Amino acid sequence: MLTIHGMADSGNCYKPRLLMALLGRPFRHVEVSTLDGGTKQPAFLAANPNGKVPLLELEDGRTLPESNAILCYLGDGTRFVPDDRFARAEMLGWMFFEQYSHEPHIAVRRSLLVYPQMREAATPQRLADTLAGGHKALAVMEQRLSGAQWLVGDAPSLADIALYAYTHRAGEGGFELTDYPVIRAWLTRIEALPDYRPIGWLPGA
């Protein structure tokens, strides 16, 4: 059985769990936290020298880090990856957008405000910078979704899963989503998908 090592509360770790739930595929969750030093233990570093979660462990023992790489592996050949070559490239474009323009602001600002371990890093300047960057990313999404139900094509893709993970918790980082009605409607569509599970869900729970 596939194993996903990660934090139950992490948006990046939620991405592959949500995809597996939507696909109805069984997997095992192993809790490993960056907050208590779990990702710095020798056994974990042997599997992922970068010391980050999530980490996918295959049945044959091979491991794959990075949330969006894991999404691509798990989603290959499923309905969440478009058949069209250009649409697949668009999907990847949005997944790169998530990592470079969205997560560094929206996810990071939430971490600065939520986790006591991050308080020293939560300087006024950093909070201001992440707030501005997060609103810029949300505006890009709002514009895209104003003319479409999904980020790519006419069906949900890995791009929607990748961007849902932290967008749906943006309020915890101080981003008021009432200013983004199109995004809120998109969040509702994702939550209405068959076999959707919330971030706190774990297999067997």
- For the stretch 31-60, pLDDT in tens is 999 888 899 999 999 999 999 999 999 999
We report the CATH number of the domain holding residue 41 as 3.40.30.10
Boundary residue ending a domain (55, 75, 95): 75
Q: Please answer whether residues 33 and 39 qualify as being in contact, where contact means their C-beta atoms are separated by less than 8 angstroms.
A: yes
Cα separation, 170 vs 154, whole angstroms: 25
In this prediction, what percent of the chain has a pLDDT beyond 90? 96
What's this model's pTM, rounded to 2 decimal places?
0.96
Residues 25 and 118 in one domain: no
Q: What is the mean pLDDT of the chain?
A: 97
In a domain, 196, yes or no: no
Residues 48 and 110 in one domain: no
pLDDT digits (tens, 9 = 90+) for 157-181: 999 999 999 999 999 999 999 999 9
We report the CATH number of the domain holding residue 117 as 1.20.1050.10
